Structure 1
Amino acid sequence: MHIRRRDFIKASAAAGALLTVGCSPKMNALQPAAGNAAHETGEAPGEWVASTCQGCTTWCPIEIFVQNGRAVKVRGNQHSLANNGYCCPRGHLLLQQIYDPDRIKVPMKRTNPKKARGEDPRFVPISWDEAMDTIADKIMELRNNQETHKYLLMRGRYSDHNYLLYDYLTKLIGSPNNISHSSICAEVEKFGAYYTQGYWGYRDYDLDKMKYLIVWGCDPISSNRQVPNAIRKLNNLLANGKVIAIDPRMSNTAAKAHRWLPIKPSEDGALATAMAHVILTGGNWHKEFVGDFKDGQNRFVSGRTVNEEDFRENLTNGLVKWWNLEIKDRTPAWAAGITGIDEMTIIEVARGLAAAAPHCGVWYGPHMQPRGSYAVFAIHALNGLVGAVDSEGGVITYQSSPYSSLPKFDAYQDELAKAGTKNKKIDHRGTLAFPALNKKSGGGVVTNNVANGILAEDPYEIKMAVGYFNNFNFAGTEAKRWDQALAKIPFFVHIVPMLAEMSQFADIVLPSTLHHSEQWAIIRSAANTYGHTSIQQPVVKPLFEAKAPETEYVWLLAEKLKAKGFPNIYEYLHNEFADPETGKKPQNSVEFSLFATKIRSRKAWDPKENADYKGDRVEGWEAFRQRGVINSPAFKPRTLWEKGFPTETKKFEFYSETLKKVLIEHAEKHKVSVDEVLKVTNYEVSGERAFVPHYEPPLRHGDRTTYPFDLIDMKSRFNREGRSANLPWYYTFKKCDPGDLVEDDVIQLNPADAARLGIQEGDRVQVSSVIGSLIVRARLWEGVQPGTAAKCYGQGHWAYGRVAARDFKKFEPRGANFNEIMPEEYDRLTGATARNGGYTGVSIKKI
């Protein structure tokens, strides 16, 4: 019964055949239905069923066309105002994801005790009953030894039910260690908006009424957020306004923009502060929002300080302080020498932004650089200078949409669990070196540092871990640390739809349903000035023995723990989650999943619960299930202008009292000064400048003599949150990522650099950093500036299936995963993983 890697594909196909006979759809998503061979797709009887994509964090409402139980086509939900009934390429890719032949069919357990990359786990199939019994035993062992804090939950992609598995279950067991994936892929960008305007979250953009857009370090029509909306709206903005792209490489947006500014990596803060200098010295700030000099005479002159008493601010705080501390000396001439953008271009772009105020905005991306917090701080301050914040045609906050709270679990948490949750977290958030600021010290997460905490047993050993919909030892930088950490954990459970690198270190692997097509949940998100609550439901029957991690797994585990003498979790689920329509209590995992969804979405469909809601309304659960989405009212401009911002000063803060308060609290907690905090966290700033947006010189790994190239990590428009590399369509359309090639994985080099190194198109080259080397094919392309090298994230899997790997049987990757040679580094103020901005220096040579 042992299943070796070389036999996995064969065994998977056989298991799939056995399990699909007479009960599940065939694996070919586009095959004509039986008895309708003459019909084209869409002509046979079928129906559109509502769901939500989740290919990125836009979480677009979609509809899937189902014929004879088989999903055959995808489109945006026709009722959705967030995406106006459209979806991007990621949405269409989900068809191949559903019917991926390498999906896990049954639960499996490891029989090879040795854990390492290249080591065959020798998985054998087991039943769900045996799997859950084993997992429950391990939890009871922790409880009996009063070591519940040594349980770890690692979350990847999630639905609105994540609270049940990620939060509530972890706390009911008795652990503080619920670890989100979020700081591996985001977080830094939220810093800019929070410490100026008090909003921690992703921003929305009023593209219909916008006249001037700067897209900075991201690619909205390809890979950032709100992709369908950006694709649809950009054409009008290009025709009737201006689009400027600031990026070291030519992205899809840059290729269409009126101007592309190929900035040197990690020099974003220099350009942002210089643009602020231009706006202020030119007298072009938005005076209705910001204010003006009392006598109307502009005193912002290069190099000169200004008396704060001479300026009367309206809705902002500390503009003159910001000028005196930072901006007065940040001239375009100074920035030109640093950024690689010429002086006149800086002046023209800054003036263009200000001239369109307030119908303008800066759309900025993650900027996950070692010192990225202050870069996005400076960039978002530009939105404040031109009055684009919370303004018509500007940059706005997400609109909320209706949802109901899940039942409270506190009464079911025993004293052992309460004591366990008081332990320190394994990711070191809130420590001196990792402030992980959110709204407070330690309010964020330091996902990539979890590997270090496990390896060092700091603050304690992790004895059991559960991960779902994640693959940290592929997605985390300096990835070998994760291999070592996962090998160290005595018992690890991975809940995923298909095997991944992380699965290779698991003791039990459980087959997961897919969010978008096989399970019950809701999703809340926003785009196009509307918020939405959208449904996820079983569009098709779950394939094989897959179950929903956040609901069904939780229920099954609760049943087992009850049988072993720990009934608290089962009693919570059974007693508190009654069907809102009938009052029936759940009797099994499927009913629990459905009832939890109805409870969580109740304010979206129950007229008794949402009588005052001003957005879309439906009459009852069934109407909501069929429609699939509830839209909020449209964004109301200038609400914050009238009510005040949720900051310490109730204003938009150029001098951030909000940041000052949090940094002082963090420093006092560790009995040091703020300057010492910043020094330990690798920033160069000190004194009062720490509380204003300012320029930080780049932090780089690798001296330029040995490692002359700045590595640029870019994202593909085909990455479904990193889970599409085993899909053939990913490779078929890969050239839609600018500079990339169909059916290949390449590193993009400027032709001038390539000529100097004797490298020609298609040559195999060795790319080396201070921690290792990888081999990849060279692509000569003028879309990257000299001195940089760009590589798309997503390929290089060695354990992801027959398409993603070159040889799945032998652990041979297809392409290269540059996370393996990107040194572990962080933006420590937020806890985010550094992965872009050229912080990794590399050398390149032909082999």
Structure 2
Amino acid sequence: MKLFETLVNRRRFLQSSAAVGASAGAVTTGITGLKGFSAVSEARAQAPRGETTITKNVCAQCPARCGIDVYTTNGRVHGIYGDTGNPIANGKLCPKGHLGSYFLYDPDRFKGPMKRTNPNKGRDEDPGFVPISWDEALDTVAGRLNDLRRRGESHRFSMFYGRGWGASDAGMQGDFGKLYGTPNAAIGHSSMCADGSKKAKHATDGNKSYNSYDYRNTNYLLIVGASFLEAFRPYNNVMQMWGEMRSKSPKTRVTTVDVRMSPTMAASDRALYIKPGTDGAFALAVAHIILSEGLWDREFVGDFRNPNMRFIPGRRIAAASFNEKWVHGIADWWNEELIDRTPEWAEEVTGISANDIRKTAIEFGSTRPAVALFERGATGHFNGTYNGMAIHSLNALVGSLFAEGGLGYQQGPSYGALPADANNYLDDYARNGAWKEQPRIDMKGTDRWPMVDNMMQEVAPNHLAGDPYKIDTAMFFYTNPIWSAPNPKVWEEALKDVFIIDTSPFPGETAMYADIVLPDSTYLERLQDIPTYPFEGWPMAALRVPAVEPIHDTKMYGDVIIELGKRIEGPTADYYHALGSIENVVRHLAAGFADDPGDNGVDSFESWKEKGVWYKKPYKWRQIRGEFYEWDGQRYSRQLSEAEVQEHLFKTPSGKFEVRSGYLEQHAAYIEREMGIPSERVGLVQWVEPRYSGGDGDLHFITPKTPLHAEGRGANIPQQMMVHQPIVGGRNTVYLEVHPQTAKDRGIRNGDRVRVTSDIGSIEAECRFVAAHRPDTLVLPFEYGHWAQGRWAKNRGPGNSSEITTNQSDPISGLASYYTGKVTLERA
């Protein structure tokens, strides 16, 4: 039997060998004589279809800023891959990184400048757009702005923006406002994004920014309210670092604290479910254990003067008994806040068992290096800044700030100067005009909001009330508040009597209110600088090079500002003529690299364009065993003085990490008035009760982003819908994720149409049972619900979650409380 099998297999081998020989044109007489075989035609390579070019660019699907290689053949983009020379991408991309060509060739894009012919505005009104030339469009806008300036009402012009990429787009707005004369240039969307985390760090370590992280060397990761494996910046690189952290030795241990079973929580070593808005209570209990168990980093934090002393629950310490080093206010913090913040207390507040809190605290406190990170899940509440301060303080207790395997802040690139200095082109109106006496329309910097960076969500209600005044003209870049702002129907009403200029490439909701459309080019058609978002701390700047010339009659936003500026009366026009174009601006920025070449040899505009990125490693400063050192080119050798630490690293009043915040104490009266905290306590990192919005609802309502969110611009991309289908939604929707018992208590079956209601309205959705979430929490991924944006996005379910999100904000950071709403649930 085996002999027969051997003969058969040998015969098959000979047959296949003959076939290979024939196909290669090497047929012998003996083989061709075999029955069933014949010569075949010579194989030929496919004829080339055209020249392929590879262009360096930067993805714009999220804030990560991954470098990409864009493949273009015969003028058409057909492939996008991660740039192997870009330290963020490392030759890789996330699931949405390949969608750029779909944005470029979106059939619903604006094809050129448009003007409105229908004076009525609303979601059921056709704008009646008709095409116009760029000259007509820019002349129309400039004429309106010049008229406002002549009347002394230039403050009634506002610029709004979302994602800014660098000096060559959003960075152009500040000088425009200064030269033209408006306090409202520009109002960013950060108060509807992540200002809570930045403000928490500003209050404790003096840096108003996001952190950079040294994930490769981290041994413990405590993730609180951050969708680390879904939407944490820089997302693509975070996924790569996850693989490194979880496969190195020792493996990075991960504890995730969240209100739902996220992909991050599912992949973690420990999953802790927390009641929304109580993250600060959890962090304070962890801090209590770290101190009471003697686990703090003494070389960084400081220590008792008497080595026999320790922190004992319920017992105060004398302030003089503790010798502070780099953490200011430890004794007060223990005496006035932490002394009774036991895990048992936190269990009652958060719902996390005291045993789990204690285990997590001991692990975190005894592992070096360890990092605690957080985002909007913890800070998207009335008490968000205090929640964030409590979490960030854990990094100080274990000495992770500016340490190997810890966290720091991002350095900026060595840019050259612009072609002209705007300060040299100010006329008397720009210097001393009546506009300087006017507050911003969002009331930033006034007694109403003295501590915030932006309050975009307040603009619509302020305009409707005429408080402090009415907007006349508004320009929008990379933001769509009629869809994304809390309670966006207020924006629908407010913008009916405002002259709107929209610059989006796509027909979003705000664009449907536009009087003039000045369409931006997509990112594959732009030239612009891209300094990195916080990454690994060392300076880095990528360059976005057009893969193709604009396929429609569009202009990059920075060039729109320059061309508009050339039309403004007075010396403003001279300034913008001196700038010339965005290409001239970018070339001047790149001139700075000549004196500080990048590690990859980039020292000019041409080499920047060729390599796509400039960077300088390593991070300039390092904290080692409680001392700070500066990199000298070979090692961290030069020790910093306390004054230098305060200048570069801890930019606080004390020059240290502050658990009694001097910054907050400067605003004590305001915080006491708005939050009810006694003025003598406002500086302490402390527990503050959340204030839930939404009325009398009995369920928490959470709207996380998904990995396919694509900056809110992916809803009109069919390929994005396809990837969503097996994960969080069906063909035309994303599901409302409901715990089975919660649904059954209300007579709701899996797949039922349901209604979710808050105090400002209702939306409908399709129910899907998810037993892994908290029973008191509904989860609706933030993705769809558009009534515009294009043929595939329009009217695809579920309803827009923003329409049941009350406009309530953290008084300190101004962050909109997207995650603090209460709702009711019923069958539709």
Question: Which interval holds the TM-score relative to the shorter structure?
Answer: 0.7 to 0.9
For 1:75 and 1:285, locate their aligned partners in 2 and report how far apart those are by CA, in whole Å. 44
Q: Which residue of 1 aligns with 2:577?
A: 574
Relative to 1, partners in 2 of residues 1:735 and 1:300: Cα closer, same or farther, differing over 3 Å?
Answer: farther
Q: Which residue of 2 aligns with 1:348?
A: 359
For 1:64 and 1:381, locate their aligned partners in 2 and report how far apart those are by CA, in whole Å. 42
Relative to 1, partners in 2 of residues 1:693 and 1:136: Cα closer, same or farther, differing over 3 Å?
Answer: same
Q: Which runs of 5+ in 1 are unaligned?
A: 1-36, 438-443, 578-585, 587-591, 664-673, 807-812
Q: Which residue of 2 aligns with 1:265?
A: 276
- Deviation of 1:96 after TM superposition, in Å, equals 1.1
Q: Which residue of 1 aligns with 2:522?
A: 514
Query: Which of 1 and 2 has greater Rg?
Result: 2
Does residue 345 of structure 2 align to residue 334 of structure 1? yes
Q: Which residue of 2 aligns with 1:834?
A: 817
Q: Is the 8 A contact 2:206 2:652 kept in 1?
A: yes
Q: 2:256 aligns with which of 241, 245, 263?
A: 245
Q: Which runs of 5+ in 2 are unaligned?
A: 1-43, 629-639
Q: Which residue of 2 aligns with 1:631?
A: 615
Q: Which residue of 2 aligns with 1:666?
A: none
For 2:516 and 2:45, locate their aligned partners in 1 and report how far apart those are by CA, in whole Å. 45
Q: Which residue of 1 aligns with 2:671?
A: 678
Letter in 1 for 2:371: G
Q: 1:745 aligns with which of 730, 734, 749?
A: 734
Q: Secondary structure at the match of 2:711?
A: coil
Relative to 1, partners in 2 of residues 1:213 and 1:751: Cα closer, same or farther, differing over 3 Å?
Answer: same
Q: Secondary structure at the match of 1:280?
A: helix
Q: Which residue of 2 aligns with 1:583?
A: none
Q: Which residue of 1 aligns with 2:471?
A: 462
For 1:86 and 1:297, locate their aligned partners in 2 and report how far apart those are by CA, in whole Å. 53
Q: Which residue of 2 aligns with 1:31?
A: none
Q: Secondary structure at the match of 2:539?
A: strand
Q: How does 1:445-456 map onto structure 2 within 5 Å?
A: 445-456=454-465
Q: Which residue of 1 aligns with 2:394?
A: 382
For 2:125 and 2:682, locate their aligned partners in 1 and report how far apart those are by CA, in whole Å. 48
Q: Secondary structure at the match of 1:113?
A: coil
For 2:380 and 2:590, locate their aligned partners in 1 and report how far apart those are by CA, in whole Å. 34
Does residue 409 of structure 2 align to residue 408 of structure 1? no
Does residue 70 of structure 2 align to residue 67 of structure 1? no
Relative to 1, partners in 2 of residues 1:38 and 1:794: Cα closer, same or farther, differing over 3 Å?
Answer: farther
Q: Which residue of 2 aligns with 1:825?
A: 808
Residues 818-827 or 226-235, more deviating: 226-235
For 1:759 and 1:173, locate their aligned partners in 2 and report how far apart those are by CA, in whole Å. 57
For 1:542 and 1:361, locate their aligned partners in 2 and report how far apart those are by CA, in whole Å. 44
Relative to 1, partners in 2 of residues 1:191 and 1:554: Cα closer, same or farther, differing over 3 Å?
Answer: closer
Q: TM-score, normalised by structure 2?
A: 0.88
For 1:47 and 1:78, locate their aligned partners in 2 and report how far apart those are by CA, in whole Å. 16
Deviations 1:689-729 (A, max 9, x none): 210111111101245xx411000120111122111111112
Q: 2:782 aligns with which of 772, 793, 798?
A: 793
Q: Secondary structure at the match of 1:73?
A: strand
Q: Is the 8 A contact 1:81 1:530 kept in 2?
A: no
Q: Which residue of 1 aligns with 2:824?
A: 843
Q: Which residue of 2 aligns with 1:176?
A: 183
Q: How many residues align?
A: 754
Q: Which residue of 1 aligns with 2:37?
A: none
For 1:39 and 1:825, locate their aligned partners in 2 and report how far apart those are by CA, in whole Å. 62
- Deviation of 1:377 after TM superposition, in Å, equals 0.6
Q: How does 1:425-436 map onto structure 2 within 5 Å?
A: 425-436=440-451
Q: 1:311 aligns with which of 298, 312, 322?
A: 322
- Deviation of 1:163 after TM superposition, in Å, equals 5.2
Q: Which residue of 2 aligns with 1:659?
A: 664
- Deviation of 1:687 after TM superposition, in Å, equals 3.4
Relative to 1, partners in 2 of residues 1:164 and 1:194: Cα closer, same or farther, differing over 3 Å?
Answer: closer
For 1:262 and 1:516, locate their aligned partners in 2 and report how far apart those are by CA, in whole Å. 41
Relative to 1, partners in 2 of residues 1:369 and 1:375: Cα closer, same or farther, differing over 3 Å?
Answer: same
- Deviation of 1:471 after TM superposition, in Å, equals 0.4
Q: How does 1:463-502 map onto structure 2 within 5 Å?
A: 463-489=472-498, 491-502=499-510
- Deviation of 1:516 after TM superposition, in Å, equals 4.3
For 1:526 and 1:268, locate their aligned partners in 2 and report how far apart those are by CA, in whole Å. 24
Deviations 1:520-579 (A, max 9, x none): 34433342454310001211111210111122x123323444xxxx1423311223x3xx
Letter in 2 for 1:817: N
Q: Is the 8 A contact 1:110 1:124 kept in 2?
A: yes
Q: Which residue of 2 aligns with 1:669?
A: none
Deviations 1:209-256 (A, max 9, x none): 110001111122210201122111112323412011111012221111
Does residue 370 of structure 2 align to residue 360 of structure 1? yes
Q: Is the 8 A contact 1:390 1:641 kept in 2?
A: no
Does residue 716 of structure 2 align to residue 726 of structure 1? yes
Q: Which residue of 1 aligns with 2:511?
A: 503
Q: Is the 8 A contact 1:52 1:523 kept in 2?
A: no
Letter in 2 for 1:520: Q
Q: 1:254 aligns with which of 265, 270, 284?
A: 265
Q: Is the 8 A contact 2:116 2:516 kept in 1?
A: yes
Relative to 1, partners in 2 of residues 1:271 and 1:522: Cα closer, same or farther, differing over 3 Å?
Answer: closer
Q: Which residue of 2 aligns with 1:193?
A: 201
Relative to 1, partners in 2 of residues 1:774 and 1:52: Cα closer, same or farther, differing over 3 Å?
Answer: same
Relative to 1, partners in 2 of residues 1:347 and 1:517: Cα closer, same or farther, differing over 3 Å?
Answer: farther
Q: Which residue of 2 aligns with 1:716?
A: 706
Q: Secondary structure at the match of 1:617?
A: coil
For 2:598 and 2:555, locate their aligned partners in 1 and report how far apart those are by CA, in whole Å. 36
- Deviation of 1:72 after TM superposition, in Å, equals 1.7
Q: Secondary structure at the match of 1:792?
A: coil
Relative to 1, partners in 2 of residues 1:81 and 1:454: Cα closer, same or farther, differing over 3 Å?
Answer: same
Q: How does 1:119-138 map onto structure 2 within 5 Å?
A: 119-138=125-144
Q: Secondary structure at the match of 1:843?
A: strand
For 2:582 and 2:94, locate their aligned partners in 1 and report how far apart those are by CA, in whole Å. 29
For 1:347 and 1:475, locate their aligned partners in 2 and report how far apart those are by CA, in whole Å. 39
Letter in 2 for 1:414: D
Deviations 1:27-84 (A, max 9, x none): xxxxxxxxxx9979x9974232111113222222222122222222222221122332
Letter in 1 for 2:178: K
Q: Is the 8 A contact 1:684 1:696 kept in 2?
A: no
Q: How does 1:547-566 map onto structure 2 within 5 Å?
A: 547-551=555-559, 553-561=560-568, 566=569
Does residue 799 of structure 2 align to residue 816 of structure 1? yes
Q: Secondary structure at the match of 1:721?
A: helix
For 2:583 and 2:770, locate their aligned partners in 1 and report how far apart those are by CA, in whole Å. 51
For 1:755 and 1:429, locate their aligned partners in 2 and report how far apart those are by CA, in whole Å. 46
Letter in 1 for 2:407: V
- Deviation of 1:743 after TM superposition, in Å, equals 4.4
Percent of residue pairs identical? 31
Q: Is the 8 A contact 2:104 2:524 kept in 1?
A: no
Q: Is the 8 A contact 1:740 1:779 kept in 2?
A: no
Q: Which residue of 1 aligns with 2:5?
A: none
> What is the Cα-based RMSD across aligned positions, in Å?
2.1
Does residue 551 of structure 2 align to residue 543 of structure 1? yes
Q: Secondary structure at the match of 2:79?
A: strand
